[in-house]
Amino acid sequence: MPSQRVRSARRTVSVAAPAHVVYGMLADAPRWPVLLPSYVHVERMDFDGAGETLLAWEFEDGRVRSSRLRRTLRPQAHSVDFEQDDPAWPGDTVVGSWSVEPDGAERSLVTLRQQTPHAHTGTSAGPDGLDADAAGRLARLREAAERWDRLDELLLAFEERVRVEGPAELVYDFLYRVENWPELLPHVDGSSVREDRPGTQVVVLDTGAVEAGPAAGPDDGMPGSETVRLCFPHAGRIVFKETAPPAPIAAHSGEWSLVPDESGLTVVCAHRVLLDEESVEAALGAGALPLDARRQVRERLGRESRETLRLAKWHAESPVRRLR
């Protein structure tokens, strides 16, 4: 029988960002996928102004793990208390808190405390695992927060949409069956899909060209690009995140969604992008600015999304035309 003991970890880092900025990032959980690398998607299940329940999916070490978080937000104290189900051991929990203290006008001290009341020896919830987890989360938060004064020019969000007069099931089928895309999309040379659990896909597309490739949700246009996708067929949604997007992109997440009405549906592809300012010139040439990167990324991802949406529309409407 594995031993069960209380394990705990506490770490503090200095962050070159005001306390209210760091707290805002911690509080705004739905935005984590574009700010914090491990998060694929965060769904807010309920929120009463102070307490909330979140479902979170993270991708680490080649695996997608989901967990449920119950959080209490304390904006005046710049702190967040949480209780998280441990995905490695269902039934166990990690409890803890984030606290942010001002350290001058534009710096702060961020402390993460974690404890597992029933941690199993030899798992990631052990003392070494908890400490490493805390260190990693603090480092990723610091990296995101220290861009705070440039986020307005580095963050980009937009949508592409198409009207479809056909069954939603056929649209969803086209978007879901990415393994068939090499036969349907001329710029996709190959694809592989790993689906260890139904609805959780790790997709690798081979586009064979730097500029080609729609998103899985849209691909980065490089051979062997990897995207994690969470598929919710009953809700008509596929959430995606690229695991290693190309320069000048630091993070890219988004969602395909189907919005039905009386005569058909609207298919939407939404994108959220964080630019990597340090790679802008390497990607676009000497003298390129974040504004140039915004324009290039918006044009490329928009074009790839529109192409995929047109093919999804054709896939759904062709059987309808044949029946008429």
Task: Tell me the pLDDT tens digit for each residue of 257-289.
Answer: 999 998 899 999 999 999 999 999 999 999 999
The pair phi, psi for residue 287, each rounded to 5°, is 85, -5
- In this predicted structure, the answer to whether residue 69 has a pLDDT above a threshold of 90 is yes
**311 has pLDDT over 70:** yes
Q: How far is CA 163 from the centre of its chain?
A: 26
Q: Which residue has the higher pLDDT, 168 or 130?
A: 168
Query: By three-state DSSP, how is residue 285 classified?
Result: coil
Domains and CATH numbers, the chain: 4-146 (3.30.530.20), 152-323 (3.30.530.20)
Question: What local confidence, expressed as pLDDT, does residue 186 receive?
Answer: 67
Compute the average pLDDT of residues 149-156: 96
Q: Please state at what angle helix 290-323 crosses helix 168-176, rounded to 10 degrees.
A: 130
| Cα-Cα end-to-end distance for the chain | 66
How many percent of the chain have pLDDT more than 70?
Answer: 85
**207 pLDDT tier (thresholds 50, 70, 90):** low
Residue 133, SS3 per DSSP: helix
What is the model's pLDDT at position 119?
55
**pLDDT value for 324:** 45
Q: Model confidence at 1, in pLDDT bands (50, 70, 90)?
A: very low
Give kind and range of the element (H or E) at residue 271.
strand 265-275
Q: Flag whether the pTM goes above 0.85.
A: yes
